[in-house]
Chain A
Amino acid sequence: MTLLEIRGLGKRFGGLDAVKDVDLDVEEGRITAVIGPNGAGKSTLFNLVHGFYRPTSGSIRFKDEDITHSSPHNTVAGGIARTFQTTNLFDDSTLLENVLAGRIVRSKSTIFDAVFHTPRHRRESRINEDRAMEALEYCGVAEYRHDLASNVPQEVQKRTAVAMALATEPELILLDEPAGGIPEEETADFGNLIRSLPQRGVSVLLVEHKMTMIMDLADTILVLDHGQKLAFGVPSEIQSNPDVIHAYLGSTPQDPTDQKEK
């Protein structure tokens, strides 16, 4: 089943088309990757889906509902979570508090519940704690839960960002370079975490620069170049596509794995 359906999506900044006429279907239970050279419009595409930017043309449908003009609050509440390219956590809070912040969108209790300590408030607090702990454990960082986000290694931060996104109970998660800045030897481990997400009922849309990881993880790949669709298909097709080799893989003689360009 198609979970996310993007048709003719475009975003124009002044005279520049950051994203132009992009079609994409994200299937439920799959890992879909978006690749492309820097400035190809990958992050802009994410921002459009998530509601940070309003598209200038085209439409986005999620679970058969039009979310083209939804605000981030509504897309997150609707079941789309995201992480950022640069690790983005609340630095002066603990990891547990960070992941609890992901629960806000699912919290219904108001200030009156908090003040009068109503049963709903108590029930919700307990559920929030449980879900947050579960997400931390799932991402393998529960032991760091009381450490400040600024004090833990990069990999733990990246995993926590995923845990925070999972805490919002998404059906689709947008991961923007989740393994960026993670040492090579830990990438495989991180890949396993991402690979396990569909079994949890979370489909994945992924931007990543580490090609070995992408080819290994993705079910389907969309290649963007200059904001437009260059190719779409399974990894083996993409790898042998002459346009892609020319525009992306061929442009760098060496494996672009270790680049830290942002």
Chain B
Amino acid sequence: MNALKNPRIIGTFALVVLIAAAPLFFAHENYAMRVITVGMCAAIAVYGLNIILGFTGQLSLAQGGFFGIGAYGVGLLTTDYDWSFWSAFAVSVIGTAVIGYLCGLIALRTKDEYFAIFTMAIGFIIFLVISRWESVTHAHSGVNNVKFPEGGGLVDFGSPVAMFYLVFVILLICVYITYAVRRSSVGRTLLTIRTSEDLADAIGVRVGFSKQLAFAASAVFGGIGGGLYATVVGFIGPDSASLDKTFEFLMFILVGGMGTVAGPLLGSMIVTFLFELFQDFQAYRFIVLGPIIVALVIFAPRGIIGYLGGFVDKRNRRRRVAAARRSAEAAESANRGGPSGHDDAADSHVTRSGGPAAPEEKK
């Protein structure tokens, strides 16, 4: 199996296992469990940002808004309307998808920085609606006592550990979807758009349609993250839809690495941890975090995962050069042997360097 030799997959796997084992250490510290679980909810939304920003290259600043819609959907439906969590969750996610798709129809008429500004406006409008529409959203008093997911008598999601694993499993699905997309022609479609829309157009990619789907998908992930967040913390206020949330997500993905499979998860965990570390400083925490981000953008513009990935690429390239040299030598000696030798050598070149090199595309 090539996968077992691929440092990227091993790394991602190690990270996932590490997080899965967190309850072993923190099972009796409810606060720590909650911090990690909230971090994972954010990570799910960041995976949405990864699709539209990391893969498609469109800076969407509406992610906090979609997160808020998911959170308030679950929050309001389970309290004021007394729905069960699961039906509220499903409806919220579908609602976010529809709203995301409709926003995309207009937002994607703009490009580059205009798209960023436009989506920021969308995010801000969502925040305004939530924080001002008192009769429905309770404005600043927020939503209290959001229901826990129903365990059907099997699991009690009131326990932090059970909740942790619920979010964890959904997060894993998001990681896997990102991985599957990354290496499929769907991911390739998005990556061509990121690199050059004109060239993508020229090779027959449906640029507008693909961006539209990517934007809707990013909204769905935001809605899922938000919906889970609501049930994890139990109380939500307009803050959960604020622009600060969007920029938090942006920071998570910058730290972890845009367009990578493990980046959003790693970034979310590290920055959440840093936030906790500097919690006592509250408003001043950005004095410490700011320089960290500046340093990161200068020294590792592709994030931690992108930075590490650079080493993997370099190693793979070295191996290929070595393999190519070996097969060139083989070709030379074969050529001396007989006229048909050249073709054989070319074949062996393909198989030999094809092995270790194949996982290249998976990031």
Contact = CB atoms under 8 A, between A and B. Distances in A.
B245 interface: no
Contact of B180 (A73, A90, A94, A114): A114
A117 interface: yes
B244 interface: no
A133 B354 CA distance: 11
A105 B186 contact: no
Given A97-B188, A143-B349, A102 B195 contact: no
A31 interface: no
A104 B181 CA distance: 13
A109 B183 CA distance: 12
A217 interface: no
B180 A115 contact: yes
B184 A50 contact: no
Interface centre among B201, B204, B324, B350 (most CB of A within 10 A): B204
Nearest to A133: B350
Interface in A138-184: 142-143, 146, 164-165, 168
Contact of A88 (B180, B186, B202): B202
Given A101-B192, A104-B185, A72 B349 contact: no
B320 interface: yes
B186 A100 contact: no
Task: Provide the main secondary structure of the chain A interface.
Answer: helix
A91 interface: yes
B177 interface: yes
Contact of B203 (A52, A114, A168): A168
Greatest chain A CB density within 10 A among B188, B317, B361 is at B188
Contact of A105 (B191, B195, B204): B204
A102 to B, nearest CB: 5
B317 A109 contact: no
A260 B176 CA distance: 48
A88 B183 CA distance: 23
Contacts of B330: none
B202 A107 contact: no
A143 B188 CA distance: 22
Contact of A104 (B188, B198, B324): B188
Interface residues of A, number: 43
B185 A128 contact: yes
Interface string B195-208: 11011111111100
Residue of B177, B181, B186, B317 most packed against chain A (CB within 10 A): B186
A72 B186 contact: no
Contacts of B276: none
A90 B186 contact: no
Contact of A143 (B189, B316, B324): B324
B184 A164 contact: no
A175 to B, nearest CB: 13
Contacts of A93: 191, 195
A169 to B, nearest CB: 10
Given A101-B188, A110-B186, A73 B195 contact: no
Interface in A79-95: 81-82, 84, 88-94
A252 to B, nearest CB: 31
Contact of B184 (A52, A89, A111, A168): A111
B357 interface: yes
Contact of A146 (B176, B177, B191, B353): B353
A72 B206 CA distance: 8
Given A84-B199, A97-B188, A104-B204, 19 more contacts: A50-B202, A52-B202, A72-B201, A72-B202, A73-B204, A88-B196, A90-B196, A91-B195, A97-B361, A103-B185, A109-B185, A111-B186, A114-B184, A115-B176, A115-B177, A115-B180, A142-B350, A143-B349, A164-B203
